[in-house]
Amino acid sequence: MFSPSKIKKDFPIFTDSNLVYLDNAATSQKPQAVLDAVDSLYKEANANVHRALYSLGSEATERFENSRKKVANFINANSKEIIFTSGTTESINLLARSLGNTLKSGDEILISEMEHHSNIVPWQLAAKRTGATLRYLSIKKTGELDLSEPEKYFTKKTKIVSLTHMSNVLGTINPIKGLAKLAHNVGAIFIVDGAQGASHLPVNMKELDCDFYAFSGHKMLGPTGIGVLWGKTKLLEEMEPFMGGGEMINTVSMESSTWNDIPYKFEAGTPNFAQAVGLGAAIDYLENIGMEAIELHEKTLLNYALNKMNHMDGIRIHGSAKDRGGVISFNVDGIHPHDLAQFLNEDNIAIRVGHHCAQPLLKTLGESATARLSFYIYNDENDVDKFCDSLKTIMGYF
Ligand code: PMP
34-288 belongs to which CATH class?
alpha beta
Q: How does pLDDT run across 338-373, given as a tens digit for each residue?
A: 999 999 999 999 999 999 999 999 999 999 999 999
Q: What is the CA radius of gyration of the chain?
A: 22
- Residue ranges per domain, the chain? 4-22+291-397, 34-288
Strands (E), 138-274: 158-164, 189-193, 212-216, 227-231, 249-252, 257-259
- Strands, E, within 333-386: which ranges? 349-350, 352-354, 370-374
* Residue 90 CA, closest ligand 1 atom number: 16
* Beta strands, E only, 31-94: 82-85
Determine the topology of domain 4-22+291-397 in CATH: Aspartate Aminotransferase, domain 1 (3.90.1150)
Q: Tell me how far apart the alpha carbons of residues 337 and 20 are, in angstroms, rounded to a whole number.
A: 18
**% the chain with pLDDT above 90:** 98
Task: Give yes or no for a contact between 302 and 171, defined as CB atoms under 8 angstroms apart.
Answer: yes
Which H helix or E strand runs over 36? helix 32-44
Q: Mind giving me the DSSP string for 185-207?
A: HTT-EEEEE-TTTTTTS---HHH
Q: pLDDT digit string (tens) for 177-212? A: 999 999 999 999 999 999 999 999 999 999 999 999
Active-site residue among 170, 357, 391, 394? 357
Active-site residue flag, 357: yes
Mutate to test the pocket of ligand 1, among 118, 163, 196 (most ligand atoms within 8 A of CB): 118
- Tell whether the model's pLDDT for residue 108 goes beyond 90: yes
